[in-house]
Amino acid sequence: MKLAILPGDGIGPEIVAQAVKVLNALKLNISMTEAPIGGAGYEAAGDPLPDATLQLAKDSDAVLLGAVGDWKYDKLERHLRPERGLLRIRKELNLFANLRPALLYPELADASTLKPEVVSGLDLMIIRELTGDIYFGQPRGITTLENGEREGINTMRYNESEIRRIGRVAFDIAMKRNKKVCSVDKANVLETTELWRQVMIELSAEYPEVELSHMYVDNAAMQLIRAPKQFDVMVTGNIFGDILSDEASMLTGSIGMLPSASLDASNKGMYEPSHGSAPDIAGKDIANPLATILSVAMMLRYTFNDEANALKVENAVKTALAQGYRTADIVTDGCKKVGCSAMGDAIVAALN
């Protein structure tokens, strides 16, 4: 098995190093090759997704990514900015299905900003379409109108095959869980998502055991805070999924806990924490590596079909949390506060 390691920017290298530590401790037969992406790609090759990095990713079975972005690149032309590297690799590898599980570990019930009774027992899977929508729709850009005023344009668009294939991912995953899919749209205002809803309804005929419901995105944002445990699988488009998954992460105590998998049609995948590069805390050894380590568990499960080792990693995270180890973002009274690297060590120790 071939794995591409793309640490990226900010805290990316630190958290990826912990995930690699965990992978090495499992002693699997995986060859790993590292390459730059994002700001690191721009520094190395003048491109946030250097050709060699893209080629390596294409030649690998899976990609492990840290995070991209740093304020110091905000002034660059848009196509040179770190985020563009991330969006391009998703598109080039056709990683249309983004899985973002929000799972509350019981030990972290107090770390959430919501009351423990609202979040305890939470186990929600957000499925976000990742290669379409307003993120990629044409036309786009900033132009100058005849009267000299500037206008910004982006286009929300989905065709039915794009909707159907992400819907299928959601229904298939729901079949292995509690058999409930909530499709999130804004069908009362946006035609794109009116079509989204129609296609979801058509598709549901093939999954008679799954209960399909629909929710407008504004209501979904509210319901996630009011009563998040009503959800099992949530499926939505690229932009809504971006926003709702950040919101859902806080239910779990910290955005530092949320892993993700981005899959193509044959389960080749890119695995990354759902959080960003946090340049303000980079290099200080205080970042939470658990989202990245949990992304490794997802990689073992979805791309390498190795459920046993996926569970092993997830159980090691549970053990370390039960032992009281906490990074700064999830620390509460009476716990052992540790840095990024020490948390990686705690997970390795818990594996054995």
From the candidates 59, 218, 284, 336, give the one annotated as an active-site residue.
218
Q: How far apart are the first and last CA of the chain?
A: 23
The least distance separating Mg ion from the CB of residue 274, rounded to whole angstroms, comes to 7
Which residue is catalytic, options 42, 73, 135, 158? 135
* 242 scored as a contact of ligand IPM (CB under 6 A): yes
In the complex with Mg ion, the residue whose CB is nearer, 211 or 242, is: 242
Q: Which of 61, 242, 247, 285 binds Mg ion (CB under 5 A)?
A: 242
246 in active site: yes
Q: Would you call 242 a catalytic residue per the annotation?
A: yes
As beta bridge partners, residue 34 has: 5
Q: How far is the CB of 47 from ligand IPM (least distance, A)?
A: 16
**Of the two residues 12 and 344, which places its CB atom closer to Mg ion in the complex?**
12
Which has the closest alpha carbon to 162: 121, 132, 198? 132
| Residue 139 preceded by cis peptide, ω within 30 | yes
In angstroms, the CA 182 to CA 171 distance is 10
Minimum distance, C-beta of residue 285 to Mg ion, in the bound complex (Å): 24
β-strand 180-185 against 233-236: which pairing, if any? Answer: parallel
Residue 101 binds what, of ligand IPM, Mg ion, none (CB under 5 to 8 Å, by partner type)?
none
Q: How many residues bind ligand IPM (CB under 6 A)?
A: 5
Which residue among the candidates 123, 246, 264, 285 is catalytic per the annotation? 246
Active site residue 158: no
Q: DSSP for 68-135, please give it.
A: ---GGGTTS-GGGSHHHHHHHHHHHTT--EEEEEEE--GGGTTTSSS-HHHHTT-EEEEEEE-SSGGG
According to the binding rule CB under 6 A, does residue 86 interact with ligand IPM? Answer: yes
Answer whether 50's CB lies under 8 Å from 34's CB.
no
Residue 28's CB is within 10 A of a number of other CB atoms, namely 13
By the criterion CB under 6 A, which residues form the site for ligand IPM? 69, 83, 86-87, 242
Question: What amino acid positions are annotated as catalytic residues?
Answer: 135, 186, 218, 242, 246
